[in-house]
Amino acid sequence: MPLQPGRAAGTASADLCERPLSKVSRDVTVDPGALVEEEVELSAGTSVGQGAWVRFGTTVGASVVEGGVFVGFRCEIAGAHIASGCQIASLTRIGRPGARQVAIEAGAWIGARAVIEPGVRIGPGAVVAAGAHVTSDVPADAVVVGRPAYVLRHRTVVEDGSPDFSAIIARVRARADSNRKRLPDGWTSGGGGMLDADLSGGPRVRLGSGVIAMGRADGPSPQGGVRVGPDVVIGDTSVLEASGGIDIGAGAVLGPRTLVLSSGHDLSRRSLPWKDGPVSIGAGVRIGAGATLVGPCALGDGAVVTPGALVVGDVPAGHTTSGVLERKNA
């Protein structure tokens, strides 16, 4: 269950909780209108504003998270000021304890597995692509990519208001089984993690320990959910964000710490509305540890993704790819 407004972490009754609640230090302020999920750690000097949403497994220390900020799964944030309307995707690393403060200004979007070094300022409306490593300031409305990050272009936007996901938060709060989906018959799990996805298919599907899966057909897309063939293996601490739909073929193996993203945002609008990006992983595909797949994309049968790869497009059947890194080195 999420951290309940006005209650200290760890006070919910045992019959309501199957996992530890969030860890919140004494010198922390969480607005009653914020949604803080399980296994979030908020340490001294942190404040979380009204309407912010901090997802499962994230750690935040000595930081200001203003109202209306979204923070994805298992992020690590230290010494940052994140302004209203920002969206921080899963597995990002922002700042370091005791180092110079990171400033992320209003309406910015930080992509999954991005790294923001201490002292960096991300300008309002800027977009940091998935996997980017940001070592210097990013101008307003710039789109930066790469390791180290560089400016690819500047956004030209329709001014339709700031990002707002309050309706999504309300829907999540209203679900009786929020973050509590059950495994289908014929599936096994190493335990831990969080299941909030419509799961179907199998049999003989194995989830490693600490797997996170989200995405439902009653969400923004009726294709939401994870659908798999028989004998699929999903490695330890992998994250499947399936709001746009993830399909996995028979015998596919996703290595530990794989991240699969089936949605994104429309950069042409200031509000950064949600966009589906379905992911199809063919039969017998092998995905190396720590790889990231960003939809829309389709991996053909027997394709191989090398460890740590960032894949942002289709991969032909039987092909081995390192994704973006492969194209950069070509």
Give yes or no for residue 5 having a pLDDT over 90. no
User: For residues 138-177, b (16+ Cβ closer than 10 Å) or e, as one string?
Assistant: beebbbbbbbebeeeeebebeeeeebebeebbeebeeeee
List the chain domain ranges.
14-154, 181-329
Q: What is the mean pLDDT of residues 11-23?
A: 40
Give yes or no for residue 141 having a pLDDT over 80. yes
Measured CA to CA, the distance from residue 242 to residue 178 in angstroms comes to: 15
Q: Indicate the pLDDT class of residue 324, thresholds 50, 70 and 90.
A: confident
SS3 244: coil
Give yes or no for residue 15 having a pLDDT over 70. no
Q: pLDDT digit string (tens) for 226-244?
A: 999 999 999 999 999 999 9
Q: What is the CATH number of domain 181-329?
A: 2.160.10.10
Give yes or no for residue 21 having a pLDDT over 80. no
Q: Indicate the pLDDT class of residue 325, thresholds 50, 70 and 90.
A: low
Domains 14-154 and 181-329 share a fold: yes
Give yes or no for residue 32 having a pLDDT over 60. yes
Measured CA to CA, the distance from residue 124 to residue 149 in angstroms comes to: 17
Give yes or no for residue 12 having a pLDDT over 70. no
Q: What is the CATH number of domain 14-154?
A: 2.160.10.10
Q: Indicate the pLDDT class of residue 303, thresholds 50, 70 and 90.
A: very high
Q: What is the mean pLDDT of residues 75-103?
A: 97
Q: pLDDT digit string (tens) for 196-205?
A: 999 999 999 9
Q: What is the mean pLDDT of residues 42-59?
A: 96
Please state the φ and ψ torsions of residue 325, each to the nearest 5 degrees.
-65, -35
CA proximity to 241, closest of 202, 206, 289, 196: 196
Q: Indicate the pLDDT class of residue 4, thresholds 50, 70 and 90.
A: very low
Distance of CA 272 to the CA centre of its chain: 16
Q: pLDDT digit string (tens) for 152-192?
A: 999 999 999 999 888 888 888 888 777 788 899 999 999 99
Long-range contacts from 180-188, C-beta under 8 angstroms, 24+ separation: 180/18, 181/213, 183/207
Q: Can you give the pTM of this predicted structure?
A: 0.90
Give yes or no for residue 329 having a pLDDT over 90. no
Please state whether beta strands 127-128 and 150-154 pair in parallel, antiparallel, or not at all (unpaired).
unpaired
Which has more pLDDT, 7 or 273? 273
